Amino acid sequence: MVENLHGVFAALTTPFENGKIAIKHFWENIQKYNTCDLAGYVIAGSSGEAAYLTEEESVTLVKEALETSAPDKKIIVGSARESTASTIAFTKRMADLGIKAALIRTPSYFKSVMTSEALKNHYYAIADEARIPVIPYHIPQVTGISIEQKLVIDLSKHPNIVGIKDSSGNLPFLGEVLPNLPSDFSYLLGAGSVFLFGLSLGASGGILRLADVIPDLCATLYNDFLAGDWEKASKLQRDVIPLNNAIIQKYGIAGAKYAMDLLGYYGGPPRDPILPLEASGKREIEKILKSLNLIK
């Protein structure tokens, strides 16, 4: 049984150089994140451009993360494939490496038949076989699959499904479903612009791209929340919204990586077909970081 997952997880980006994984930069980034008050790292998630990684590249990243991470950081890996069997196979491989939990996006290719029953069967089969805790991942803006409250409740009853990551940003959904989940079920937010509000509704933590760029501020926000310092926390939440909007919807991964470059991490280029950030996007990211007093 995994203990409840809480706090801020950084959804690590994958550093590329000339189209290849630049493992040295990955190592450097983790060294820096190790000094921050983060709960752990997610490898090969959306922010890691997992959709663009080969299986061996993912394995390389996971091994490096397991080796380099500070002992207090938990390693979670995005291990979803579209088919149930492939997801099980890759999740088992991850389990053998010794990771803490598997983050598994809803399958979505055949949308019209991805009913609650199909999704429940999928996750139960994985959780039965996986040998590590399983965390379903709800990200309807990417997958086109919106899960129902009843499905979350059903999933929470499987002993090996220990939580959910919810990037929908749908607080009315979260607020209604959460009181119906076991108290040790982890509800992890993916939407950095409403992180504080999700916490105040009972979420246990977040898996955030924002924590790649400003890990300390994310940790501060979480700690202010824990300390009951709402005024400070809500001011901080307000302040980081334009940055989060820029690195998620508006400029995506390319925006996040450029912000990382400006702040002393290695961001580097995204993989094709994502285009590199244009000059106007760079200027907007710079302007946002200046307004946060993070660069001059």
Which residues are identified as catalytic? 165
Region of 69-77, 128-136, 152-160, 271-279 interacting with a copy of itself (CB under 8 A)? 271-279
Q: How many residues sit in the footprint of a copy of itself (CB under 8 A)?
A: 64
Among 4, 34, 60, 86, binds a copy of itself (CB under 8 A): 86
Angle (CA) 14 60 136, round 5°:
70
Cis peptide bond prior to 107, omega within 30° of 0: no
| Per CB under 8 A, 118 contacts a copy of itself | yes
Among 98, 182, 249, 283, binds a copy of itself (CB under 8 A): 249
| Per CB under 8 A, 204 contacts a copy of itself | no
CA 41, CA 76: separation in Å to the nearest integer? Answer: 6
Among 26, 251, 258, 266, binds a copy of itself (CB under 8 A): 251
**Beta carbon of residue 31, minimum distance to a copy of itself (angstroms, whole number):** 27
CA 215, CA 284: separation in Å to the nearest integer? Answer: 20
Return all residues near 24 (Cβ < 8 A) that are at least 6 apart: none
Angle (CA) 236 241 243, round 5°:
105
CA 165, CA 185: separation in Å to the nearest integer? Answer: 11
How many other C-beta atoms lie within 10 A of the C-beta of residue 154?
17
Contacts to a copy of itself by CB under 8 A: 19, 46, 49, 51-52, 54, 82-86, 107, 109-115, 117-119, 121-122, 125, 141-142, 144, 169, 171-172, 175-176, 179, 191, 193-194, 196-197, 200-202, 228, 230-231, 234, 237-238, 241-242, 244-245, 248-254, 271-275
